[in-house]
């Protein structure tokens, strides 16, 4: 009798302990090939499990916002593209982040409200098919592609409005003129950065102007005839991480965010071919200057740039 009571008591304690320890529910657009190992590493370190729900960035927003409005506490941590993180921040579904590792992150890239923190970068680079184009034939800057000899050989991803917007802001009126020239050359418009990189590798699109560095790199590592190079001015997009306002496991969520922003987590990103933001971690893709797309501008000037982009490239 006593034994039984003791047993049931310990079971209760055990269950209680399990409840106290997570799991962290993560909504992310990071591929499971990377988010999976990230979760495993975190669990190994802290003993807290990570449950991952993975979707494209818009779905992450839709689901997180809808659940928050309905008062459900399902998600603990959200990790996706900068502009989408900013959308959710505006919907008031995050809480401010305090982490010892914030100091390692370039201050200019951290939103003032600190509702979310950038955790990795994605670069727009020029990717080319190594059997169709020689590296020495490529121009040294984007302006070189205005040369008529590139007509019929260049491709752009069909939704890269923010890339254009950032370049035009850097170059001023000149920039607008450049894109008009580009538009007259009728570049190959392709939907999806993954598809674009694949088509470069297959030779369908000899040169892509707005490929994602990570996509080109992973194909290159598999041995596909593709290479990439950062072309000045390099535009970068940030991806961010945040803790849900009504997270069911706020402590574990904070621990997870800390882990991701820590040199350890950032190094893990680098080893998986993603670019870390932390200044404490040296990236393996080499050093170059880059300009970060401002998520706030992306949201506020969306309509204006969308209209220009449509008029230039999607008619």
Partner 1 sequence: MSTATTTITADAGAAPRFDAKWLIIAVCVALTLYLAVVPLGFLLWQSFFTPQSAAKAAVFTFDNYRQAYGSEETWTLFLNSLQFATGASLVAFVIGTALAWMNERTNTPFKGLFFALSVIPLIIPGILFTVAWILLGSPKIGLINLVLQNLFDTEAVFVNVYSLWGMIWVDGLHYSPVAFLLMTAAFRAMDPALEESAVMSGASVPQVAARITLPLVWPAVFATILILFVRAIESFEVPALLGLPVGIQVFTSAIYQAVHRYPSQIGLAAALAVTLLLITSVGVYFQSRLSSQGSKYATMTGKGFRPRTIDLGRWRYFTTAIFLLYFLAIVVLPFAVLLWSSLQKFYAVPSMEALSRLTLDPYRTILSYPNLARSVWNSLLLALGSATLVMLVTSVICWIVVKTRLPGRWLLDNIASLPMVFPGLVLGLAIMILYLYLPIGVYGTIWIMLIAYVTRFMPYGLRYNTTSMLQIHKELEESAAMSGASWFTTFWRVILPLLKPGLLAGWIYVVIVSIRELSSSILLYSPGSEVVSILIWELWENGQYVELSALGVMLILALFVLVLAAQWLGRKFGIREA
Q: In the chain, what's the furthest Cα-to-Cα distance? A: 90
Stretch that binds partner 1, among 13-21, 79-87, 110-118, 286-294 (CB under 8 A): 79-87
DSSP 5-67: HHHHHHHHHHHHHHHHS-PEEEEE-S-HHHHHHHHHHHHHHHS--EEEEE--HHHHHHHHHHH
Q: Does residue 301 touch partner 1 according to CB under 8 A?
A: no
Residue selected from 176, 267, 299, 308 as contacting partner 1 according to rule CB under 8 A: 299
Residue selected from 47, 148, 223, 286 as contacting partner 1 according to rule CB under 8 A: 223
Q: Does residue 103 touch partner 1 according to CB under 8 A?
A: no
Residue selected from 3, 222, 286, 289 as contacting partner 1 according to rule CB under 8 A: 222
Stretch that binds partner 1, among 11-19, 67-75, 168-176, 264-272 (CB under 8 A): 67-75
The Cα 9–Cα 168 span in angstroms is 67
Which residues does 119 contact at the CB level (< 8 Å), separation at least 6? 79, 239, 240, 241, 260, 261, 266, 269, 276, 277
Q: Does residue 97 touch partner 1 according to CB under 8 A?
A: no
Q: Which of residues 9-28 bind partner 1 (CB under 8 A)?
A: 25
Burial per residue of 66-92, b for 16 or more beta-carbon CB atoms within 10 angstroms, e otherwise: ebbeeeeebbbbbbbbbbbbbbbbeee
User: Residue ranges of the alpha helices (H) in 120-272?
Assistant: 161-171, 173-184, 193-202, 213-221, 250-261, 263-271
Stretch that binds partner 1, among 115-123, 229-237, 258-266, 298-306 (CB under 8 A): 298-306
Q: Does residue 185 touch partner 1 according to CB under 8 A?
A: no
Give whichever of 43 and 91 is closer to partner 1, judged by the CB atom: 91
Give whichever of 51 and 104 is closer to partner 1, judged by the CB atom: 51
Q: Which of residues 157-176 bind partner 1 (CB under 8 A)?
A: 158
The Cα 219–Cα 98 span in angstroms is 37
Q: Does residue 56 touch partner 1 according to CB under 8 A?
A: yes
Stretch that binds partner 1, among 46-54, 109-117, 135-143, 273-281 (CB under 8 A): 46-54
Give whichever of 199 and 260 is closer to partner 1, judged by the CB atom: 199
Consecutive H or E run containing 74 = none
Q: Site size for partner 1, by CB under 8 A?
A: 54
Burial per residue of 279-315, b for 16 or more beta-carbon CB atoms within 10 angstroms, e otherwise: eebebebeeeebebbbbebbeeeeeebeebbeebbee
The Cα 4–Cα 30 span in angstroms is 47
Q: Does residue 215 touch partner 1 according to CB under 8 A?
A: yes
CB of 118 to partner 1, least distance (A): 18
Residues binding partner 1 (CB under 8 A) = 25, 31-33, 36, 51-56, 58-59, 61-63, 66-67, 69-70, 72, 74, 83-84, 87, 90-92, 158, 188-191, 194-195, 197-199, 201-204, 215, 218-219, 222-225, 299, 302, 306, 314-315
């Amino acid at each position: 009798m006593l034994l039984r009571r003791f047993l049931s008591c310990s079971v209760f304690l055990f269950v209680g302990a399990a409840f106290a320890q997570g799991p962290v529910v993560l909504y992310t657009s990071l591929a499971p090939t990377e988010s999976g190992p990230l979760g495993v590493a975190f669990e190994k370190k802290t003993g807290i499990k990570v449950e991952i729900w993975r979707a494209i960035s818009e779905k992450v927003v839709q689901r997180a916002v809808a659940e928050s409005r309905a008062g459900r506490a399902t998600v603990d941590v959200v990790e996706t593209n900068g502009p989408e993180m900013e959308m959710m921040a505006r919907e008031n579904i995050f809480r401010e982040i305090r982490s010892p590792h914030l100091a390692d992150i370039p201050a200019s890239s951290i939103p003032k409200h600190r509702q979310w923190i950038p955790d990795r970068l994605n670069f727009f680079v020029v990717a080319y098919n190594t059997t169709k184009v020689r590296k020495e034939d490529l121009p040294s800057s984007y302006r070189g592609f205005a040369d008529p000899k590139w007509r019929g050989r260049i491709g752009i991803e069909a939704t890269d409005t923010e890339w254009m917007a950032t370049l035009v802001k850097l170059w001023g009126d000149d920039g607008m003129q450049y894109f008009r020239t580009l538009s007259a050359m009728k570049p190959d418009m392709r939907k999806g950065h993954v598809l674009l990189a694949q088509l470069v590798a297959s030779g369908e699109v000899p040169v892509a102007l707005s490929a994602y560095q990570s996509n080109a790199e992973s194909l290159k590592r598999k041995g596909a005839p593709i290479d990439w190079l950062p072309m000045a001015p390099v535009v970068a997009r940030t991806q961010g991480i945040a803790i849900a306002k009504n997270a069911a496991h706020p402590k574990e969520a904070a621990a997870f965010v800390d882990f991701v922003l820590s040199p350890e987590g950032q190094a893990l990103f680098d080893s998986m071919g993603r670019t870390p933001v932390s200044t404490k971690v040296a990236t393996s893709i080499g050093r170059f200057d880059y300009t970060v797309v401002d998520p706030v501008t992306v949201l506020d000037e969306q309509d204006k740039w969308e209209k220009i982009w449509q008029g230039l490239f999607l008619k």
